[in-house]
Amino acid sequence: MTFRPATTLLLAALAAAPGGSLATAEPVARRTPVVDAVERVSPAVVNISTEVIVRNPYAQAPDIFNWFFGGRRQRRQYYVENSLGSGVIVDSRGYVLTNNHVIAAASRITITFVDGKQVEADLVGSDQATDLAVLKLQGEGPWPAVEMGTSSDLMVGETAIAIGNPFGLQSSVTTGVISATGRMLPGPDEDAIPFADFIQTDAAINPGNSGGALLNIRGELIGINTQIVAKGQNLGFAIPIDRARKVLRELRDYGYLRPAWTGLVVEDLDPQQAEYLELDSHEGVLVVKIYRDSPATEARFHLGDVIIAVGSRKISNIADWDTAIAQVEYGKRVNVRLVRKGEEVVYPLRVEAFPAERAEEFAWSVLGFTVKDRRGLVVIDAVRDNSKAAEIGLVPGLAIRSLGGHKVRNAKQFYEIVPQMLYRRSADLVIAARRGLYRIPIPIR
């Protein structure tokens, strides 16, 4: 009797199956959850092409060609720069999530689908601090949309799938694993307080993947790809979808991200303070100020409280605190664990959007001055004694041109910008004086 290997028998059985053949059986055997996820999601991951009109800084400079040969050749006043990135359709009505840096200053945004179809998109809103932006596709839907999952239960080692447009190559797929969660990365500028919840993955994220999708094995959106480490291999980072979901709603409904408001001002707890408070660890944040008529006063917080956890998240520093508070839906309460006089207690804290009517109070308390409109300019109205502004030498009458990188055209706009400084360590103030413009950093924390 002749014995044949089991694999030979299996292949023979597949070939002999009614209506079946080896050729049709192989694709079924090769189909994996990754293949299923990519097939479902790819139509919702798009290429984003932008045009940015840039002023030519040399337009007014003398043209050496004219100097040698005469003539009236004019330099171009403006030129167009193009860039590529990725985006994810997260709503069948045509809302697209991407990175702020992908569409920054764009005068035209073109969306290309995996089948080559192109449509224009409008900018709904963007936020530099979180590096997220929301676009709206022009035209009638419904549009293919990805299902959003959650980033709260990610496991190190689980499969991660990245889809984007590296180097302009439409709908490229890479796979890997979740390498880590809760990574802290630098903010968009040196004064911004970094978030501490980035997802690290070894799924290849190349230039052009920014704004693309990071998926779990079920094809659910768990992150928006945002950064790579140029000098490292397989070091990519994504914004967790739980943070992006809140930013999406804010930008869609308001056009900007309203800062979170608790009424608490906190500082990192250093070893000397921990020793003075007789704490076993210097991890946590110290409550150093409580605003009146705020969620913090309602929740009975005290000066000197040391916050060690928000919900299930451990708090080690300000970045942890800001990250945890930024994820709470406005109007909702979150349990805050703190140490007071050597005992751990828990208080429910309500998180609200910053009340616009209190912006002037915040400017006076934190920046140290208020402003008013005067003859088409925004000028300092009053300076608080013993404030950093007073120490720097700010005085009433100085004209303000910008705050924190935002141009200031009137007092109303100034006070709209003030709450956006909540997540910064300092704010750059540009003032105009008789001899020119001066950039002055104002400490926030």
- Residue 52's H or E segment, with its range, is strand 45-55
Active site residues: 101, 131, 210
Rounded to whole angstroms, the Cα distance separating 309 from 344 reads: 10
Rg over alpha carbons for the chain, rounded to the nearest Å, is 27
The three state secondary structure string of 376-387 is CEEEEEEECCCC
DSSP H helical ranges for 70-161: 100-103
The three state secondary structure string of 185-220 is CCCCCCCECCCCCEEEECCCCCCCCCCCEEECCCCC
Distances (CA, A) of 238 to 10, 135, 225, 231, 320: 43, 19, 4, 18, 17
CA angle 245, 248, 251 (to 5 degrees): 150
Instruction: Give the 3-state secondary structure of residue 368.
Output: coil
Identify the DSSP state of 404. Answer: T
The three state secondary structure string of 245-276 is HHHHHHHHHHCCCCCEECCEEEEECCHHHHHH
377: β partners: 374
Residues 6+ apart with CB under 8 A from 428: 191, 402, 403, 404, 405, 439, 440, 441, 442
Residues 6+ apart with CB under 8 A from 58: 75
CB environment 259-295: b (16+ within 10 A), e (fewer): bbbbbbbbebbeeebbeebebeebbbbbbeebbeebb
Residues 6+ apart with CB under 8 A from 197: 151, 181, 182, 183, 240, 243, 323, 327
DSSP 332-359: -EEEEEEEETTEEEEEEEE-EE--GGGH
Contact, 244 vs 263, CB < 8 A?
Answer: no
Helix axes 318-326, 241-254, angle to 10 degrees: 60
Rounded to whole angstroms, the Cα distance separating 47 from 50 reads: 10
Q: Which of 249, 197, 204, 252 is nearest to 223 (CA)?
A: 197
